[in-house]
Chain A
Amino acid sequence: MTVAWQQEEKRLTPDEVQAVTFPLSRIGRRGFDEDHVRAFLQEVEREIVTLLNEKVSLWNEVERLRRRIITGMKQSGDNDGVLFGREDAHVHAVRILSNAQLTADRYVADAQAYSHRLTEEARNRRDEILNEAQQHADLVLEEASSRAREAALATLNAPVPNQMEADRSALKAELAYLRTFGEVYRTHLRAYTEGMLRSISEWERSEARTIDQASSDVRGSYDLGR
């Protein structure tokens, strides 16, 4: 009897490598470049996946050879039967389909991990933008209210009508500026948000394409198995 391939649950899986996160180093301290770390992790993940695949096919190969020997011992002398048993062909088909299934699983897992990363990044970016917008809006508001206060004081303290007229047109100008500023800001924010929604739809479509591809891969090797 062959030995089981160690306890699987304690081993590092490609998913764990894919999902690992590291805390950011404190400001002012040096840390590794995030993109390099990520790229290396992807390489590690691919390597593990390849190794796992090789392991599965090797294991199947061992199993197949073991069976040949057993069959061979039973039917001693009948070499053709040993090499091309019916059962052997079936195990072979099972192995091919298993590998195809693992490939499909990986396609789906990759697509999901990709969409996870994109959504997460989009969410963070959106939070940043909203925060920035909030701070900006606060500034504008503060400025507007302090100007309004100044204007009110000026009205109280300025008896000369000409001066008042000048103040009024200055205030009108201010108002026009603020209104324009507000419009420009809204337009920018809207364009950005729409752009973001379009990208999300695009990911969605590309994910669908990947899954279709994976699905036809499964079906392809399936027909082979049949």
Chain B
Amino acid sequence: MDVLGLKDSFSRIAAYGDEVPLFFYSDLFIKHPEVRDLFPISMKTQREHLIGALAQIVAQVDRLEDLTVFVQSLGRDHRKFGAVAEHYEAVGDSLLATLGHFAGDTWTPELAADWAAAYGLVASVMIEAAKEDEASRPAFWRGTVLSCEQRAFDINVLHVRAEPRLDFRPGQSVAIESPRRPRLWRYYSIANAPREDGTLDFHVRLIDGGAVSMALTYGQEPGGSLRLGPPIGVLTLDATCGRDLLMVAGSTGLAPLKALIEQVAGLPALPAVQLFFCARTADGLYDLPSLEKLAGEHQWLTVVPVISSELRSRGESGSVTDVVMRAGNWSGHDAYLAGPTEMVRDTAARLTSAGTPRSQIHIEDFGWSEP
């Protein structure tokens, strides 16, 4: 395989920008109209993802080990979108047609054969990973909304039953798709530790202009259905650390931390947990009554409400990071941070410079404020 030839042709084709994925998807949908239903109405983000994934694959085509990990996760990820082995052939056809179209005169039979071979390899790794994944879990879980509680004008708490039972570690998240926004998946943290009845809580905040959060905040009713993807995420408890815990939650960033607190309650040796729960306004502290009840039942738990923008308030006020840093020396604690990206980043930086080792600071790697 001529690796340099592949990279070279890709960089020339990629210069056509959005026109390349636009051509690809149109070609695919004309040749295989049934595939259109696997995609959302607006394809803008989809086109960006396609080019991003192709660029990464082409960049790593000569480092097969790194590439395999990425491609395997792509294969597993595509199960919940409804991709099956037959689709891969259709995609390959349209991909080659697109590359040929944009390569123009430089498209030789040798180059076409190299691309076909490279795509064949990627597709077989994806199909294989999806098949392995199929043995251990479904492509997606069917969720039924059991109840929903509008806690503030922009915050809704959903109580959901998943079928079959969805096993996860406290602090993990799942992608959610609402039938009102077909084919749009957004990650939400599960806000409880695993329960006997297998039900899940989600704390949804309305993002301005957010398509999915809008559908999940307004108009949800008991009996409504959702689809849930497999659990992911690394914001899980290191129960063996033996240190006390500092938790800082901004708005619905509370969800994963509440799951961790419920997990701590079941541990044999209880660490002291100090939770700072921060919102912009008093009504943003949507779960305070339930947290205060927990703190009343458990001596090891302290809850500090923080309001960042109001002059007068029930709790501490000011930047949450300032409040946390004023409140004590955290260098011997394990810190769990979740909330708006900026808050998490600032707090992590301040904790690090005040002596908490980076390895003791736990954060999720994806942004919370996806639209």
Please list the residues of chain A having a beta carbon within 8 angstroms of any beta carbon in chain B. 1-2, 4-5, 7-9, 56, 59, 63, 66, 90-91, 93-95, 97-98, 101-102, 104-105, 107-109, 112-113, 115-117, 119-120, 123, 126-127, 130, 134, 138, 193, 196-197, 200-201, 204, 207-208, 211, 214-215, 218, 222, 225-226
Question: Which residue on A lies nearest to B219, using beta carbons?
Answer: A204
Closest-CB distance, B267 to chain A (whole angstroms): 40
A119 touches B209 (CB 8 A): yes
- Inside 8 A of B153's CB, which chain A residues have their CB? 126, 193, 196-197, 200
For chain B, the bracket of interface size reads 35 or more
Task: Kindly state whether residue B26 has any CB partner on chain A within 8 Å.
Answer: yes
Q: Which of B17, B23, B41, B214 contacts A108 (CB 8 A)?
A: B41
Task: Kindly state whether residue B338 has any CB partner on chain A within 8 Å.
Answer: no
B17 touches A115 (CB 8 A): no
Segment at the A interface, from B101-109, B116-124, B226-234, B358-366: B101-109
A94 touches B209 (CB 8 A): no
5 tightest Cβ-Cβ pairs between the two chains A and B: A116-B209, A4-B15, A8-B17, A108-B42, A97-B26
Q: Which of B17, B44, B311, B312 contacts A5 (CB 8 A)?
A: B17
- Inside 8 A of B101's CB, which chain A residues have their CB? 63, 91
Question: Which residue on B lies nearest to A9, using beta carbons?
Answer: B17
A101 touches B22 (CB 8 A): yes
- Inside 8 A of A63's CB, which chain B residues have their CB? 101
- Inside 8 A of B43's CB, which chain A residues have their CB? 101, 104-105
Segment at the A interface, from B27-35, B128-136, B139-147, B255-263: B27-35
Closest-CB distance, A117 to chain B (whole angstroms): 8
In the complex, the number of residue pairs spanning A and B with C-beta atoms less than 8 Å apart equals: 103
- Inside 8 A of B209's CB, which chain A residues have their CB? 112-113, 115-117, 119-120
In the bound assembly, the distance between CA atoms of A91 and B30 in angstroms comes to: 10
B180 touches A208 (CB 8 A): yes
A119 touches B17 (CB 8 A): no
Closest-CB distance, B14 to chain A (whole angstroms): 9
Question: Which residue on A lies nearest to B211, using beta carbons?
Answer: A112
Q: Which of B26, B43, B206, B214 has the most CB of A within 10 A?
A: B26
- Inside 8 A of A197's CB, which chain B residues have their CB? 153
Q: A1-B105, A94-B27, A115-B214 are in contact. Are A214 and B41 (CB under 8 A)?
A: yes
A94 touches B30 (CB 8 A): yes
0/1 string, B39-54, CB within 8 A of A gives 1: 0011110000000000
B26 touches A104 (CB 8 A): no
14 contacts between A and B (CB under 8 A): A9-B17, A94-B27, A95-B26, A98-B23, A98-B26, A101-B26, A101-B43, A105-B43, A130-B281, A134-B310, A138-B312, A222-B36, A225-B29, A226-B30
- Inside 8 A of B281's CB, which chain A residues have their CB? 127, 130
A109 touches B17 (CB 8 A): no
In the bound assembly, the distance between CA atoms of A127 and B308 in angstroms comes to: 13
Question: Which residue on A lies nearest to B182, using beta carbons?
Answer: A215
Task: Kindly state whether residue B218 has any CB partner on chain A within 8 Å.
Answer: yes
- Inside 8 A of A107's CB, which chain B residues have their CB? 42
B206 touches A105 (CB 8 A): no
B29 touches A97 (CB 8 A): yes
- Inside 8 A of B208's CB, which chain A residues have their CB? 115-116, 119-120, 123
B41 touches A134 (CB 8 A): no
Question: Which residue on B lies nearest to A214, using beta carbons?
Answer: B41
Closest-CB distance, A74 to chain B (whole angstroms): 12
- Inside 8 A of B219's CB, which chain A residues have their CB? 201, 204
B26 touches A94 (CB 8 A): yes
In the bound assembly, the distance between CA atoms of A201 and B153 in angstroms comes to: 11
B41 touches A215 (CB 8 A): yes
Closest-CB distance, B321 to chain A (whole angstroms): 22
Closest-CB distance, A72 to chain B (whole angstroms): 15
Closest-CB distance, A104 to chain B (whole angstroms): 6
- Inside 8 A of B25's CB, which chain A residues have their CB? 101
Q: Which of B19, B154, B206, B310 contacts A56 (CB 8 A)?
A: B19
Question: Which residue on B lies nearest to A196, using beta carbons?
Answer: B153
A218 touches B41 (CB 8 A): yes
